[in-house]
Structure 1
Amino acid sequence: MSVLRGIASTIYRISLPSLIIEQLGIECYEESSEPMVNFIGNQLAILTRQAILRLMNTPTEKPLPNYKEPTKIAVREQALGHAVELLTSRRECAAVVPEDHVGRVRASLLTSDTAGYQHAGESCSDDDIESWKTFRSNTLGSRNAEELTVAYLAGPQPSNDLVALVELGLRPENIWAFEIGPDEISQGLADLDALGLRGVKFIPVSIDEYFVGTPRRFDIIYIDACGPLPSDSQKTTRLLVDIFKHGALAPLGILITNFSRPDISNASALDTYAHLIASYLYPKGFMESETGGMIEGPEVHGYLLENPDEPTDCFLTEVKNNFERHYGAFITRHILDIASIIAPTARLTGSNLYRVLYDPDIGKAVNRGRRFARFKPELFEEPDEKEDSSNTAEGPSELLSGVSPEADYETDGDAVVHPDLFSLVWTMAACGLYEVGPDFLPPTEKVKKFVARWRNQLVGSQQTKKSAEDLIAAFYAWRHDQSLWSPALKEIGKFPYRNLMPFLCDVPTEEIGYYAAFAQLAYPAHANNDETRRFRYLAEGKSTPMFMDVIPFDECRYVYDWLSAVHLVPNDWFDLSAQLTFRFALDAIAKDLRWYGDDFLYGCHVVGISSVFPASELAKRVDLSPTSNLIG
């Protein structure tokens, strides 16, 4: 290797680097750089070893699959290039809350004619804003490409992704590749040996086992699963939960996933996947439109989840007819919910830590949460009414759609009346995982089996004392029922928000403090929707489309940790400047979430959505197949 490095140095000195760079497909390197000499030396070693292996006709256990299709290479380059750039030179853009957001919110209030707004702006001090900006900067830190760490699924040709990462400036020592298939391990090791890069980590264990068993966090995690979401054989949902449950992704990191479309030519597969996807997307307050952008959810457009009498009004039929568009939306929304609700709740309840916030008896919360999916039976005294009710406009949800929040609480069935506020409870109910009333039709047996395999993965590799549907029920019960809160959290709930907090865009409520307390202990991650990139592609010679998501995630510790711990939060509320600094920062998270869920931080806006303060929005999924079509 030292001889090859000497040759590389000579090549560099005689002004041929541009030729080498062109031949090696490298786009940018600084002139007269030591890394360039090292890289050329490494590439010469690779070429030499590959030539020797070809001359020796070294056999492999079986022919290597071809992962060098031009389309796949183009998608890989776009995904990895965006990820590395966003975490280094554009790191400020990766964060959900921009550095100037708090200051811009205050400036907007100071120039507002709305009563009380100017006073709120004047009450937020320069010192607190500058202190928060410093805290944010220290929390985010900085990175250059050589400092980034990456974990990815190796496959039989790990050199493909490895070379792409090295070309982007990453060090081989900071790259971890994982593989468990015996043939793939053998072929992968031979592939890396031929490559000749020192320091690469090739670990023959499952990537989720590594995430569970070690404390290492990665700036980029690249899951090229080559299977659908969910998948019983590949446990794709379980892997996603493990990433966030065990903190494998850095506090500001990027998750790249690549899932295949299920085989929808199989009628059974189409039925089961469509039912899960329809049940998942139906309760969301907003959905992606066919032409791009967000529109109101299926319920507003007159859809019922299932309607045997009028199939055209059935959202399940719509999903089947436009499967790829809705499947792509499901992938993204499911990942977002796993990161912000499902995995954090599983983590928090995995120890006694949850008792800082909630009643020690989780069973109370589970029972309360399950009741959100059905109304109390005694509400319907007429047997004929119950018999005629179904998942139609004449069901109990329509009869009670005008009841007050107080009555709602007494009648249960909150998720039926307000599915957008209880979206995952609604999904579990529609999938047959809760006891329900006539608002939901029972799923078929094959759907039940499919859903059961999915829900078993929702708690991750390490099983929990409670099932996934129980933990989801508990999450929503804790959010909406203060009788289940700990004494310290109840003090946050009892604070006179409307009397002592300035009225701004949204009326101040305990929601401002509740999720922050949850976040301090449960460590959710929020997607930066504006910087998310999504692709669909069909590689040359392949018959199965792939769906890739490149999602920046931010734990937003610089917002949640600005507050004191739960027992001391009421003191923060009495410090008006500190309180407003927090609320101004929280406004950015609320705007990032606006179209993607009302399950938490509902009504936390300080300024209205406008061209100056827009709500974040996912860009349309781009088709990078050779035909270059766009899909939703």
Structure 2
Amino acid sequence: MQSYMQGIKNYAREKLIEHAISSLTSQRQESYLVSKDHFTKITDRFNSMLFRFVGGKNIEFTNQYNWQFFGGKNSWFEFYESICRPKTASELKVLYLSGPEPYNDIDILCNKGIRLENIWAIESDKKIYEQAVKSLTDAKIQIKIHRGSLTEFFELTNHEFDIIYFDACSPILSPQQSPLETLKQIFLNRRLTGLSVLITNFAEPKENYHWGDILAPWFAPKEFGELPEIDDDFGRSALEKCASFSAYSNFINQHLDDYYSSFLTHFIPAMASEIIPMWQLSALGSVQSNHLLNEQALQKELKTIKNQQLKADSFKELLNEIPHYALAVDIYPLLNWARLIRENLSADHPLIKFIESNRRKMTIEDSLYICSLLKRFEEADTGFKTFIHNICGEKLKTTLSKLDFFDRHMPLTCDIPMKNLLVELLIGLYGHPYVAHAGKNLSLKYKAKETWMYSDVFVFDQCRYLYDFLPTLDLWESFFENFANQTIIRGCIDEIRRNHLYLNSSLFKWGFVECVDEEFSCADLPERINLNDFEK
């Protein structure tokens, strides 16, 4: 048997683990999406613009605001520091897939300061597990090695890890394995700590699937910033791509490496920051009963929304009949991803099964419709067929209609703060998103034996210093009456968006306080590194 410890694979593993550990230790403060330095700079800029707008005539407002803000800022800094604490390598808890020679990973981990007591190894195959146990016994190494399914382990145990190394060794969609199910359980059951790293390693696509049909639903409704450069050669808008699905699918197949690589880098962060949190929120029975419709009415409305039959004799009638999400596809990217999957893939396809994942009678597909529509709450009165009010309970309609950021109609900030920010704060409060830092991403590619492998290091921040700063929805009105609370929220949203933008541009859209410039820049997303280039 050829040794598992191939040179280039071992080199890749060492780079991935080293980056993961340093991101959580020596570079830990830089890995949080919000820093006290940026927060101070951006809120100072916001306040200076506010005071310039108010002028010297309203001294009472200025004094009261200053008193509220500086007291609130100091209190929030204490809250932030209670969450964003340093860690050493010896405190990090790590899980990885064992394989027949688990010592390879253990050696690297321990050399980087990880303690044996904090290492878990998982192996599902009985024969390989026995080889691994023998290898550990011979080396007199005692760690926690568990025989069983990784998916089941994440679903049914209560362990939380700083680093999970998911070396799938298969494509992200595989009939033999269920990588999507494993990823789902990691985020759904919150198996990663508040600041954590997920390392993934997937094989190149196999010919058992038509990968153009798999990837086209993801890329068709996306904005240009999340598309591979080659997409420019297709030369069509998001709406045109959706309408010419077959042609777009074939184009993707011709450039599969570019699209597959980009999909791995962007889909997993979107799954962690939006797809699973939206599902978490929508599946809560209390959220449905308090803020949406009752279960039966909600399911009836969703069925209507997803099965629209167009009846129009003129272009004007068509505009009135066609759902807004089918016209403005790029502002409903996740909804249209689910829609295009449903329209173009067979009922037994793994992606169909994924979006049909059911929790308390709420599927991922339904939750993407619900939350995508809620994020576009302000489109409800535009005259287009939006369905937004169809899914909202009266209480939520009233709350979202009344609430606004106090500077909404002041020409202060780069972006006008829209109500999608409020909806996303609600999703974050209940859905516990993991938001990846684009600047901390590490993407590698290498050829092991005859197969190209795609590795990514995602550094995730749960941002509880923002989401837990908020009370629950029924208290938002009184909370937002304190303008300083709003400024603190805006300061956090601004930097989260800057550091996440190039992974998922739909998160906290319209959230910038200041434009992107040299002083207030965005984190760049590093390109994937081909390790084989260094062998030449």
What amino acid is aligned across from residue 516 of structure 1 in structure 2? L
Match of 1:48 in 2: none
Does structure 1 residue 331 correspond to structure 2 residue 274? Answer: no
- The 3 A distance-change label for structure 1 pair 203 and 358 is same
Distance (Å, rounded) in 2 between the aligned partners of 1:338 and 1:212: 17
Match of 2:372 in 1: 476
Length-normalised TM-score, structure 1: 0.74
- Greater Rg over alpha carbons, structure: 1
Distance (Å, rounded) in 1 between the aligned partners of 2:327 and 2:54: 34
Distance (Å, rounded) in 1 between the aligned partners of 2:238 and 2:390: 36
Does structure 1 residue 132 correspond to structure 2 residue 73? Answer: no
Distance (Å, rounded) in 1 between the aligned partners of 2:226 and 2:391: 35
- The 3 A distance-change label for structure 1 pair 502 and 589 is farther
Does structure 1 residue 567 correspond to structure 2 residue 474? Answer: yes
Distance (Å, rounded) in 2 between the aligned partners of 1:215 and 1:316: 41
What amino acid is aligned across from residue 35 of structure 2 in structure 1? P
What amino acid is aligned across from residue 468 of structure 1 in structure 2? I
Distance (Å, rounded) in 2 between the aligned partners of 1:576 and 1:604: 17
Q: How far did residue 430 of structure 1 move?
A: 2.0
Q: How far did residue 416 of structure 1 move?
A: 1.8
Partners of 2:374 and 2:420 within 8 A in 1? no
What amino acid is aligned across from residue 129 of structure 1 in structure 2? K
Q: 2:95 aligns with which of 141, 151, 154?
A: 151
| RMSD between aligned residues | 3.2
SS at match of 1:345: helix
Partners of 2:123 and 2:129 within 8 A in 1? yes
SS at match of 1:189: helix
- Which stretch shows the higher mean deviation, 122-131 or 337-346? 122-131
Deviations 1:449-501 (A, max 9, x none): 56x322323566x7652433223223323434256345654453132527665
Q: 2:273 aligns with which of 329, 332, 340?
A: 340
Distance (Å, rounded) in 1 between the aligned partners of 2:434 and 2:505: 16
- Which stretch shows the higher mean deviation, 298-307 or 516-525? 298-307
Matches within 5 A, 1:70-89: 70-89=7-26
Partners of 2:408 and 2:416 within 8 A in 1? no
Q: 1:222 aligns with which of 142, 165, 173?
A: 165
Does structure 1 residue 182 correspond to structure 2 residue 92? Answer: no
Match of 1:11 in 2: none
Q: 2:338 aligns with which of 428, 436, 456?
A: 428
Partners of 1:374 and 1:412 within 8 A in 2? no
Deviations 1:361-410 (A, max 9, x none): 345455555666676513x226xx9xxxxxxxxxx99x74xxxxxx6xxx
Deviations 1:306-335 (A, max 9, x none): 749xx9xx4323311211111011112221
Partners of 2:290 and 2:393 within 8 A in 1? yes
Q: 2:248 aligns with which of 315, 338, 345?
A: 315
Match of 1:358 in 2: 291
Does structure 1 residue 173 correspond to structure 2 residue 117? Answer: yes
SS at match of 1:221: strand
Partners of 1:373 and 1:416 within 8 A in 2? no
SS at match of 1:545: strand
Does structure 1 residue 241 correspond to structure 2 residue 184? Answer: yes
Match of 1:518 in 2: 427
Partners of 2:429 and 2:468 within 8 A in 1? yes
Q: How far did residue 273 of structure 1 move?
A: 1.4
SS at match of 2:43: helix
Unaligned runs of 5+ in 2: 378-387
Distance (Å, rounded) in 1 between the aligned partners of 2:406 and 2:153: 50
Q: 2:216 aligns with which of 278, 296, 301?
A: 278
SS at match of 2:268: helix
Partners of 1:99 and 1:133 within 8 A in 2? yes
Q: How far did residue 337 of structure 1 move?
A: 2.0
Partners of 2:154 and 2:182 within 8 A in 1? no
Match of 1:40 in 2: none
What amino acid is aligned across from residue 171 of structure 1 in structure 2? R
The sequence identity of aligned pairs, in percent, is 23
What amino acid is aligned across from residue 454 of structure 1 in structure 2? L
Length-normalised TM-score, structure 2: 0.87
Distance (Å, rounded) in 2 between the aligned partners of 1:177 and 1:572: 46
SS at match of 2:346: helix
Deviations 1:25-82 (A, max 9, x none): xxxxxxxxxxxxxxxxxxxxxxxxxxxxxxxxxxxxxx4x422111111111111101
SS at match of 1:304: helix
- The 3 A distance-change label for structure 1 pair 303 and 483 is closer
